[in-house]
A and B are shown apart, each in its own frame.
Chain A
Amino acid sequence: MNARYYTLRQADLPALFDRARGDYDVIAKRRDANGNLCYGPATSFADVDFTAEQPRLSAKACAFPQIEELTRYRREGRTFTDATPAAPARPALLFGVNMCDAAAFEILDKVFSWDYKDDPYLERRARTTLFALACDALQIDCFCDRLDFPTAAVDLIAYRRGDDYLVEVRTEKGAALAEKYAACFGPAPAAEATGPGATSPPAAKKPPLLEEARPQLSRSFDHEDWALLAGTCVGCGTCTYLCPTCHCFDIQDEGGPAEGRRLRVWDHCTGRTFTQMPAHQPRDRQFQRYRQRLLHKFWYYPERFGPILCTGCGRCITFCPVKINIRELVEYFGGLKATPPGGARRK
């Protein structure tokens, strides 16, 4: 379908929000109890922070919540009755989501829909409309300019134009929203009626794409510098849980033998027990677990499904307790850079 462009004035944002709230569960950027930016349900525009600033957690919980009930069981004599929870009734609108977070859904769709259809994820995904707000510039840690992440499934994108926005409609879902709330949108300026004058983020000179690291990366598994460069990884779940594309999960029963729930919960492959078996642990050193995460994102996933499992949001660098830098490590082990980050080297 043809992309269509509109103007959205800053002054019309509250009206757009209020109308949308009548039809959608709106999830927008807002401040949490500590004043940090997060995605959360918003029922009043006064709570919304319509900014390109990056919330600490990504938006993946909209389709892949941290705790998801798969079934609820109850013992009946020697057997059980169980039931799956009802799907949320209303559609959801991600209002002002970062591009790096919005693009992640198309990447995640691959693993959740190949072969077996993951109904819990796909149903939430189908009911969610993505209305992105594009950034104006890269921050210190983000590196979306080093990746070609997919944006075809981002339903609408707002680009800043002074105080107002140029809105690009990219999908039928986006077109439906723009049509429903047509009163909030105006025609795009003639110069941009067929395309935004500037892309987001501003693409100045482009250093090599991280995709180019893959051939060398796929030969780097036994490189002797992994133990030092990934040796400070503490094995927490920060990078994984904040990441828009990480999707490893666990299935846990919680409750008791008489009644309870079987849940899907987030898990992290960097954790010590992730592959722990009673008699065998294939990744018993921390650097092996970190290596798994990096190679999964930049080699195994694209080999299997096409896109790199990363949108360059940089959260894993910003919030890593020890500032391990996945971009630098991909460059080093992928042969795009000769010197290791920080200078640590074994040889």
Chain B
Amino acid sequence: MTPLNAELQAAVRRLFDDGRIQYFLGYVEDYGHTFPAILTPASDLARLTFDRRSYHNLARFLDEVRGAKVGLVCKACEVATLNVLAAENQLARENVVVVGVPCPAMVDPGRLNADSSVPAGDDPALWQEKCRRCPERNTPDADVFVGERVSTPPPAPGWPLLEEHERRSPAERRAWLAAQLALCIRCYACRLVCPLCYCRQCFVEDNKPQWLDKSADGENNLHYHVIRALHLAGRCIECQECSRACPVGIPVDLFNQVLSRDFAQRFGFAAGRAPDQKAALVDYQRDDKEDFIL
């Protein structure tokens, strides 16, 4: 057991014993994997962990324990999510205890060893793409911080995956996109791991009118991904859970990155900076650029 995990387990035990929380959302390690779990005071905390496979956005599971006092271990990704949820009136921040940690950068799931263990070394090439762009390794605004704060390497600038895609010709881009969308099986893993896709009935479930056919064919798949990205415009905090969850390896979050970049470049806006930050599409500044409007 790592020192960090020991400290984390002790901190969570204290939170339960002090009655500050009724549930804890954290990661546990078992059967060779690290995965999210909903823990209660009766749970065995010996498997509670925070490691380099702690990909998930635990804010996704707040809905399961709605109404209760909950604690969760957060990376900067989760804190940004909590900010957006708070700004959208989806949670009361005071009911949530944020346990902060020094994030070691997550290993790209595709780079794990065959037995799911983490390869040795800390080459950034092993990391998830978002971690190379991360500006803050130590959880901001934590109520409880466990472990030693670490230094954050300078983040890679821009949106490298998007820029790489855009170096292709339009015809190549169309072909690549068609090939990716042909793989999509409309499992909706991308939508359902996203903590900001919290609509009780999603547009994909509507049938009066039916916006999308249920068939997983290229055209319907394209519409699904594009519309979902538009519904997340100015809200997505780029946790990349959607791409990580995709069982057929589509880099789904590229759709979201296009829009995130637009907001950053045109309006200097990034989602999730503060719990009272107004959503981009419901706010304006007097000096907003309007050169793209006729």
Contacts and interface: CB of A to CB of B under 8 A. Distances in A.
Q: Do chains A and B touch in the complex (CB under 8 A)?
A: yes
Interface stretch (A157-165, A194-202, A335-343): A335-343
B32 interface: yes
Nearest to A263: B215
A323 B247 CA distance: 12
Given A234-B189, A236-B192, A341-B31, 16 more contacts: A32-B248, A34-B249, A56-B249, A67-B215, A237-B186, A237-B189, A238-B245, A238-B247, A240-B187, A254-B213, A321-B241, A321-B244, A342-B28, A344-B40, A344-B43, A345-B40
A34 B61 CA distance: 30
A267 B187 CA distance: 9
Interface in B20-40: 28-40
B132 interface: no
A97 to B, nearest CB: 19
Nearest to A251: B214
Contact of B39 (A33, A266, A344): A344
Contact of A140 (B45, B116, B213): B116
B185 A344 contact: no
Nearest to B53: A323
A153 interface: no
A235 B61 CA distance: 12
A269 interface: no
Chain B: interface size category = 35 or more
B182 interface: yes
Interface of A: 32-34, 36, 56-57, 66-67, 139-141, 228, 231-232, 234-238, 240-242, 250, 252, 254, 263, 265-268, 271-273, 286, 317, 319, 321-325, 328, 339, 341-347
A135 to B, nearest CB: 13
17 contacts: A33-B180, A33-B183, A56-B247, A56-B248, A139-B114, A228-B37, A228-B39, A236-B245, A254-B214, A254-B215, A271-B188, A321-B241, A322-B36, A323-B33, A342-B28, A345-B42, A345-B43
Contacts of A317: 31, 33
B288 interface: no
B215 A324 contact: no
A37 B43 CA distance: 39
B148 interface: no
Nearest to B175: A33
Nearest to B48: A343
Contacts of A323: 33-35
A33 B188 CA distance: 20
B30 to A, nearest CB: 5
B179 interface: yes
A342 B189 contact: no
B187 A237 contact: yes
A34 B183 contact: yes
Contacts of A273: 205
Nearest to A254: B213
Contacts of A67: 215-217
Given A33-B180, A56-B247, A344-B28, A235 B40 contact: no
Interface of B: 28-40, 42-48, 56, 60-61, 64, 114-116, 176, 179-180, 182-183, 185-189, 191-193, 205, 213-217, 241, 244-245, 247-250
The 6 residue pairs across chains A and B that have the minimum distance between CB atoms: A323-B35, A343-B44, A321-B245, A33-B179, A342-B28, A237-B187
Contacts, number: 146
Given A33-B179, A252-B213, A232 B250 contact: no
A236 B47 contact: no
Contacts of A263: 214-215
B247 A242 contact: yes
Given A32-B183, A241-B185, A345-B44, A321 B193 contact: yes
Contacts of B217: 67
Given A140-B116, A231-B38, A250-B214, A34 B44 contact: no
A228 B189 contact: no
Contacts of A236: 187-189, 191-193, 245
Contacts of B44: 339, 343, 345
B32 A140 contact: yes
B30 A342 contact: yes
A232 B249 contact: no
A15 B116 CA distance: 37
B40 A346 contact: yes
A234 B35 contact: no
A324 B216 contact: no
Contacts of A268: 187
A319 B34 CA distance: 13
Contact of A325 (B31, B46, B114, B191): B31
A232 B61 contact: yes
B248 A343 contact: no
B42 A346 contact: yes
B108 to A, nearest CB: 14
A3 B45 CA distance: 53
Contact of A343 (B45, B215, B241, B247): B45
A139 B32 CA distance: 11
Contacts of B114: 139-140
A242 B31 CA distance: 20
A236 B190 CA distance: 8
A213 B186 CA distance: 33
A321 B189 contact: yes
B188 A237 contact: yes
A232 B40 CA distance: 14
User: Which of A263, A339, A343 gathers most chain B CB within 10 Å?
Assistant: A343
